[in-house]
């Protein structure tokens, strides 16, 4: 099993190209099941989750081809992937596939909307919380689906197709909003979704569906209106830049010091997180086709945060920010409101010398003068990123185990960091 070895102490200077967003790419890929024509996705990241979902879509009848494996002049490895599902050949998504990646449960929407039936394994729990699928199933029920749960599977069927409806999500859910958008696009009549997620990834999906012939208004606001159509066509759509990758590298620069341009990204995708980073002492400015992050000559100021749905501070950056706060000159408080078990990285940061105490959903972080390298274990995707950030400044050598978590969401992380001066490498086996 691969590991990442880091020798801390180097500032970061240079350019880091930001990849396409994993959290946007996955629902866009699933949307390809809604049409028998080709959906072409530009700026696709090369990640373990993307490769896995490609295989899952193939199980349902999707063919794919890839262009753009060579490095571009700007240092990116941008890929374009074409998905074509002329026929749905299997409406069952088995446990052994869904269990490997929760987002694959979302195939229930296009399978049901296009084929009239979907039999999808319930994904079960995961390391950062239960993340139930109830809201997704409720939205499909509101659109006229009959849902039965049996032997760990959700079986969804329709008689004569889905029908538009008006409903309100009891809590904001990105996954449920994705599912509702895809299903309602092919429903008869109009659908109005209240308390919808406003994340940029939702907007990316809505823009994609509109390019395919859907009629969606209001994406990016709490109320989305969909006028159902009878069929969708192919389209060419660009995956938005990864705001979580952007924020992670911005925090790495704030942690180590230095001067880095994050290329191929946009500050409007993570305004709240960048505002918090400015409060810690980092200088952040927009540049052509990217963001410049600088921290030179001063320490890290402690800042309190609370995670919230977009446009609030992203839960997917909470762990990385905690890593940054371990070196702050004072005490900070981090409150997690999205997932109930997303502090599993605390004990691993403690192995590096961090001082963190937990009370319910709030972590109190007392900044320390020094972190010291040690072997640590990644518990999930974002936790693995905070261990890398901490390792970049820890004295001596830090070894991050279980880096397959990183490969799910960070493309060529060690290469991007080493190109900016970090002493970081992958150890295979």
Domain ranges within the chain, ordered by starting residue: 3-18+241-427, 22-238
Check: CB of residue 165 under 8 Å from CB of residue 144.
Answer: yes
Whole-structure pTM value: 0.95
Report whether 304 belongs to an annotated binding site.
no
How far apart (Å, rounded) are the C-alpha atoms in residues 113 and 163?
Answer: 10
Four-way CATH pick for 3-18+241-427: 3.40.718.10, 3.40.190.80, 3.60.10.10, 3.65.10.10: 3.65.10.10
Query: Which DSSP helix (H) or strand (E) runs through 65?
Result: strand 63-67
Given the residues 126, 198, 208, 420, select the one marked as catalytic: 126
Report whether 352 belongs to an annotated binding site.
no
In degrees and rounded to multiples of 5, residue 332 shows phi and psi of: -125, 160
How far apart (Å, rounded) are the C-alpha atoms in residues 98 and 106?
Answer: 10
How far apart (Å, rounded) are the C-alpha atoms in residues 18 and 266?
Answer: 10
Q: Confirm whether 3-18+241-427 and 22-238 share one CATH topology.
A: yes
Report whether 407 belongs to an annotated binding site.
no
| pLDDT string in tens for the chain (429-residue length) | 899 999 999 999 999 999 999 999 999 999 999 999 999 999 999 999 999 999 999 999 999 999 865 444 445 568 999 999 999 999 999 999 888 888 999 999 999 999 999 999 988 544 434 456 899 999 999 999 999 999 989 999 998 999 999 999 999 999 999 999 999 999 999 999 999 999 999 999 999 999 999 999 999 999 999 999 999 999 999 999 999 999 999 999 999 999 999 999 999 999 999 999 999 999 999 999 999 999 987 899 999 999 999 999 999 999 999 999 999 999 999 999 987 667 889 999 999 999 999 999 999 999 999 999 999 998 887 789 999 999 999 999 999 998 888 998 899 999 999 999 999 999 987
- What DSSP line would sit under 329-365, residue for residue? SSEEEEE--S-TT--TTHHHHHHTT-EEEEETTEEEE
Active site residue 126: yes
How far apart (Å, rounded) are the C-alpha atoms in residues 244 and 409?
Answer: 9
Report whether 375 belongs to an annotated binding site.
no
Report whether 174 belongs to an annotated binding site.
yes
Residue 418: predicted pLDDT: 98
Report whether 102 belongs to an annotated binding site.
yes
In the block, which residue shows the tokens 């190209």? 17
Residue 102: predicted pLDDT: 86
What's the topology of domain 22-238? UDP-n-acetylglucosamine1-carboxyvinyl-transferase; Chain (3.65.10)
């Amino acid at each position: 099993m691969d590991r990442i070895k880091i020798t801390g102490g180097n500032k970061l200077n240079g350019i880091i190209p930001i990849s396409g967003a994993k959290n946007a790419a996955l629902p866009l890929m699933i949307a390809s099941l809604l049409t028998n024509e080709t959906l072409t996705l530009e700026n696709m990241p090369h990640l373990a989750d993307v490769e896995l979902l490609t295989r899952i879509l193939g199980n349902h009848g999707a063919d794919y081809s890839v262009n753009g494996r060579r490095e571009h002049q700007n240092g990116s490895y941008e890929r374009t992937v074409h998905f074509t599902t002329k026929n749905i050949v299997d409406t069952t998504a088995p446990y052994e596939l869904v269990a490997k990646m929760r987002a694959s449960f979302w195939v229930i929407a296009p399978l049901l909307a296009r084929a009239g039936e979907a039999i999808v394994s319930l994904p079960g729990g995961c390391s950062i919380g239960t993340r139930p699928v109830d809201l997704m199933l409720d939205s499909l029920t509101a659109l006229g689906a009959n849902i039965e749960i049996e032997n760990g599977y959700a079986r969804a069927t329709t008689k004569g197709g889905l029908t538009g409806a008006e409903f309100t999500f009891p809590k904001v859910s990105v996954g449920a909003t994705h599912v509702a958008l895809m299903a309602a696009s092919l429903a008869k009549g109009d659908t109005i979704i209240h308390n919808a997620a406003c994340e940029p990834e939702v907007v990316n999906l809505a823009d994609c569906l509109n390019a395919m012939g859907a009629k969606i208004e209001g994406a990016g606001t709490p109320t989305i209106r969909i006028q159902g159509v009878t069929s969708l066509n192919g389209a060419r759509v660009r995956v938005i830049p990864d705001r979580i990758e952007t924020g992670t590298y911005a925090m790495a620069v704030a942690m180590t010091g230095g001067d880095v341009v994050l290329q191929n990204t946009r500050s409007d995708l993570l305004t709240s997180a960048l505002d918090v980073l400015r409060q810690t002492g980092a200088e952040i400015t927009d540049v052509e086709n990217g963001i410049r992050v600088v921290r030179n000559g001063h320490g890290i100021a402690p800042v309190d945060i609370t995670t919230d749905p977009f446009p609030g501070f992203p839960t997917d950056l909470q762990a990385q920010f905690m890593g940054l706060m371990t070196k702050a000159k004072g005490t900070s408080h981090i409150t997690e409101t999205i997932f109930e078990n997303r502090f599993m990285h605390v004990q691993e940061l403690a192995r590096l010398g961090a001082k963190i105490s937990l009370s319910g959903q709030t972590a109190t972080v007392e900044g320390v003068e020094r972190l010291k390298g040690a072997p640590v274990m990644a518990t999930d995707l974002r936790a693995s990123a905070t261990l890398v950030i901490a390792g970049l400044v820890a004295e001596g050598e830090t070894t991050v185990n279980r880096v397959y978590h990183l490969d799910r969401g960070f493309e060529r992380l060690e290469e991007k960091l080493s190109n900016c001066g970090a002493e970081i490498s992958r150890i295979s086996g």
